[in-house]
Protein backbone atom coordinates (compact mmCIF):
# COMPACT_ATOMS: atom_id res chain seq x y z
CA UNK A 1 0.00 0.00 0.00
CA UNK A 2 1.71 3.18 -1.15
CA UNK A 3 -0.15 5.48 1.24
CA UNK A 4 0.55 3.54 4.45
CA UNK A 5 2.69 5.49 6.91
CA UNK A 6 4.07 4.57 10.31
CA UNK A 7 3.11 7.11 12.98
CA UNK A 8 3.00 7.67 16.71
CA UNK A 9 -0.56 8.09 18.02
CA UNK A 10 -1.17 10.58 20.86
CA UNK A 11 -4.51 9.84 22.50
CA UNK A 12 -6.15 11.97 25.18
CA UNK A 13 -5.62 10.58 28.68
CA UNK A 14 -2.98 8.06 27.53
CA UNK A 15 0.46 8.93 28.96
CA UNK A 16 2.46 7.29 26.14
CA UNK A 17 2.43 7.45 22.34
CA UNK A 18 1.29 4.27 20.60
CA UNK A 19 2.70 3.01 17.28
CA UNK A 20 0.19 3.05 14.43
CA UNK A 21 -0.30 2.79 10.68
CA UNK A 22 -2.15 5.43 8.63
CA UNK A 23 -4.28 3.63 6.05
CA UNK A 24 -6.05 6.63 4.47
CA UNK A 25 -6.57 10.40 4.78
CA UNK A 26 -9.64 12.61 4.49
CA UNK A 27 -10.32 16.32 4.71
CA UNK A 28 -13.15 17.40 7.02
CA UNK A 29 -14.55 20.70 8.23
CA UNK A 30 -12.29 20.35 11.29
CA UNK A 31 -9.16 19.64 9.22
CA UNK A 32 -7.32 16.50 8.09
CA UNK A 33 -7.97 13.11 9.65
CA UNK A 34 -6.12 9.84 9.23
CA UNK A 35 -7.65 6.37 9.30
CA UNK A 36 -5.25 4.75 11.74
CA UNK A 37 -4.79 1.19 13.02
CA UNK A 38 -3.02 0.77 16.35
CA UNK A 39 -2.99 -1.56 19.36
CA UNK A 40 -4.35 0.04 22.53
CA UNK A 41 -2.88 -0.46 26.00
CA UNK A 42 -5.18 -3.44 26.64
CA UNK A 43 -3.91 -5.25 23.53
CA UNK A 44 -6.95 -4.61 21.33
CA UNK A 45 -6.52 -3.65 17.68
CA UNK A 46 -8.31 -0.37 16.96
CA UNK A 47 -8.96 1.26 13.57
CA UNK A 48 -10.46 4.75 13.69
CA UNK A 49 -10.36 8.22 12.18
CA UNK A 50 -8.08 10.51 14.21
CA UNK A 51 -7.25 14.18 13.81
CA UNK A 52 -3.90 14.78 12.13
CA UNK A 53 -2.86 16.70 15.26
CA UNK A 54 -2.99 13.40 17.20
CA UNK A 55 -0.42 11.82 14.86
CA UNK A 56 3.34 12.21 14.63
CA UNK A 57 5.44 10.67 11.84
CA UNK A 58 7.67 7.83 13.01
CA UNK A 59 11.33 8.40 12.21
CA UNK A 60 12.99 5.94 9.85
CA UNK A 61 15.52 3.64 11.49
CA UNK A 62 19.04 3.97 10.27
- Assigned domain for 34 exists: yes
Q: What is the pLDDT of residue 1?
A: 40
The model's pTM is 0.85
- DSSP run (H or E) holding 23: strand 18-28
47 belongs to a structural domain: yes
Residue 2 pLDDT greater than 80, yes or no: no
47: pLDDT confidence band, cut at 50, 70 and 90? very high
Q: What mean pLDDT comes out for the span 23-51? A: 96
Whether 62 is covered by a domain: the verdict is no
User: Average pLDDT of 15-31?
Assistant: 96
Please report whether residue 40 resides in a domain: yes
> Higher model confidence: residue 45 or residue 1?
45
Range of the domain at 53: 5-9+19-57
Q: Does residue 53 belong to any structural domain of this protein?
A: yes
Residue 30 located in a structural domain: yes
How many domains is the chain partitioned into structurally? Answer: 1
For the residues 52-62, what does the mean pLDDT come to?
85
Query: Do the domain assignments include residue 14?
Result: no
Half-sphere CA count of 53, side-chain side, radius 13 A: 3
Is residue 35 one of the residues assigned to a domain? yes
**d(C-alpha 16, C-alpha 23), whole Å:** 22
Amino acid sequence: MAGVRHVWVRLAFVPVELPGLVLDWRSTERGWEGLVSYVDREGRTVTEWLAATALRPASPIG
